[in-house]
Amino acid sequence: MDRIKEQVVELRSAGVGRRDFLKSAGKGIVCTAAGGALLAASPKNAAKVYQRTKEERLKQIASNSYAVNRLFKRRASSTRQATGPLKEKYGEITMLDFPQFTKDTYPGVTKMDLWSSLFGDFDDDSQFIQRVSGERIRFGDFDPSVTSSKQYLDKLAEKMVETGVMAVHISNNAPRNIADPDEEARREGIRVAKIWLDASKQIGVRSMRVNTGGPQILPQAEIRGGYPQDTEIVPYLKNAIESFKEMADYGEKVGVKVTIENHWGLAADPMNVRIIINEVNSPYCEASPDFCNWEHEYMLYHGLEALIPLATSMCHAKRWTRFPDVDIARCVRILNNANYQGDISLEYEAGGDPVEGTLKLMEDVVAALR
Range list of H helices, 14-95:
18-26, 43-50, 54-58, 84-90
Residue 14: domain span: 1-51
**30 and 126 share a domain?**
no
C-beta pairs of 133-139 under 8 Å, 24+ apart in sequence = 139/75
In 3D space, the residue among 165, 198, 197 whose CA is nearest the CA of residue 96 turns out to be: 165
**189 and 256 share a domain?**
yes
Torsion of CA 137, 84, 320, 109, to 10 degrees: 100
**178 and 147 share a domain?**
yes
**35 and 81 share a domain?**
no
Is 207:151 a contact under the CB 8 Å cutoff? Answer: no
pLDDT score at 21: 40
User: What distances in angstroms separate CA 12 from CA 168, 201, 236, one per listed residue?
Assistant: 40, 48, 46
pLDDT score at 221: 84
**5 and 146 share a domain?**
no
Question: How far apart, in whole angstroms, are the C-alpha atoms of residue 199 and residue 9?
Answer: 54
Tell me the CATH number at 317: 3.20.20.150
Angle formed at CA 163 by CA 158 and CA 169, multiple of 5 degrees? 75
**56 and 37 share a domain?**
no
Q: What is the DSSP letter of 117?
A: G
**22 and 45 share a domain?**
yes
**2 and 71 share a domain?**
no
Q: What is the DSSP letter of 231?
A: -
**8 and 31 share a domain?**
yes
User: What distances in angstroms separate CA 325 from CA 248, 300, 319, 322, 331, one per listed residue?
Assistant: 36, 11, 8, 9, 12
Q: What are phi and psi of 187, to 5 degrees?
A: -60, -40
Q: What are phi and psi of 31, to 5 degrees?
A: -120, 135
The count of structural domains within the chain is 2
**34 and 169 share a domain?**
no
Q: What are phi and psi of 28, to 5 degrees?
A: 90, 15
**34 and 91 share a domain?**
no
pLDDT score at 222: 87
**134 and 265 share a domain?**
yes
**pLDDT tens per residue across all 370 residues of the chain:** 454 444 444 444 444 443 444 344 444 444 444 444 344 445 555 545 558 999 999 999 999 999 999 999 988 766 565 668 898 999 999 999 999 999 999 999 999 999 999 999 999 999 999 988 777 888 999 999 999 999 999 999 999 999 999 999 999 999 999 999 999 999 999 999 999 999 999 999 999 999 999 887 778 888 899 888 989 999 999 999 999 999 999 999 999 999 999 998 999 999 999 999 999 999 999 999 999 999 999 999 999 999 999 999 999 999 999 999 999 999 999 999 999 999 999 999 999 999 999 999 999 999 999 9
In 3D space, the residue among 302, 270, 269, 304 whose CA is nearest the CA of residue 290 turns out to be: 304
